[in-house]
Structure 1
């Protein structure tokens, strides 16, 4: 069974964002439920990409105190077995403090690690989601009239929450660019 098949069985449909097509290629339109005018479109996704609304995962504040941000989560995670890549995305209508964004990205990474352990334990797949590149993205100014996309923090390879790629005015985003695969 492929890892994407396991994830499809594991994750409820209500926590997924359906891919669309543009010119015969997969795209995804991400938005913030609390701000309908806040959105970003990512083009040229791999055909096997799964987009998870991590905010659908209930906050663990019934268990954790939350004093260090351990109850926070970013908005979305995109996983592709074909590209062996996991992209963590936090969207902001305008902008927010960097420390807050880092904690949200870290919380989403914890969510994926939890899924990884569920796959290992309940699907008996000891290498579940092993060997995937992690990429962290902060997208800001999503509600402002679209200007030219500006990458204001282009840390390579943006493989940790505190080294996230920071993008403002997401006018034209491509999966390869976010995954560090080139445009």
Structure 2
């Protein structure tokens, strides 16, 4: 069974974000800042084999953890994608303005921990020994999502943005392309 099929089975429908098609049958996704429904980011060029989930929909782990190191925080969205032998997990944190980078890193780490938990669930309960082992992880922080008056500004701390500390930072997003966020540009 493919990793994406397992993820589809694993996740409740209410956390899945619908993948849409434009007039030319190209896939895109609309992400809404969970606490600010007027703040929307559209990502174009989404591969057909993609699942996006709203991580903020899950119950907070504060009943178990103290939260003193930020371990109860999570990013807004995770996008799982498989395309032509490339498997990507894209972690996205959205902010109305700039946001505190230390807090953003904590949120991205929280989402990474959630994905690692999903890996263990797939390996243990679906009996898939190599579940999600081939995925590359990419981290993105998108700021100033309610203000579209300036051109998109992308800052990368590294070429791969493969850790929360090296997250790609985007301000004033407009016409974002999945391949750029996934590091395929």
Normalising by structure 2, report the TM-score: 0.95
CA distance in 1, matches of 2:19, 2:112: 22
Deviations 1:22-60 (A, max 9, x none): 221110000013211211100001101100100011111
- 5+ residue gaps, structure 2, are none
Residue 76 of structure 1 aligns with which residue? 77
1:59-138 to structure 2, matched below 5 A, reads 59-82=60-83, 83-138=86-141
1:128-167 to structure 2, matched below 5 A, reads 128-167=131-170
CA distance in 2, matches of 1:97, 1:174: 25
- How far did residue 146 of structure 1 move? 4.3
Superposition CA RMSD, Å = 1.0
Contact persistence 1:89–1:136 (CA under 8 A): yes
Residue 20 of structure 2 aligns with which residue? 20
CA distance in 1, matches of 2:142, 2:157: 12
CA distance in 2, matches of 1:24, 1:177: 20
Count of aligned pairs: 182
- How far did residue 147 of structure 1 move? 2.5
CA distance in 2, matches of 1:49, 1:76: 13
Contact persistence 1:70–1:107 (CA under 8 A): yes
- 5+ residue gaps, structure 1, are none
CA distance in 1, matches of 2:90, 2:70: 20
Deviates more, 1:26-35 or 1:145-154: 145-154
Residue 172 of structure 1 aligns with which residue? 175
Contact persistence 2:74–2:107 (CA under 8 A): yes
Name the SS for the 1:47 alignment partner.
coil
- How far did residue 154 of structure 1 move? 4.6
Contact persistence 2:148–2:173 (CA under 8 A): no
Deviates more, 1:153-162 or 1:133-142: 153-162
Contact persistence 1:147–1:171 (CA under 8 A): no
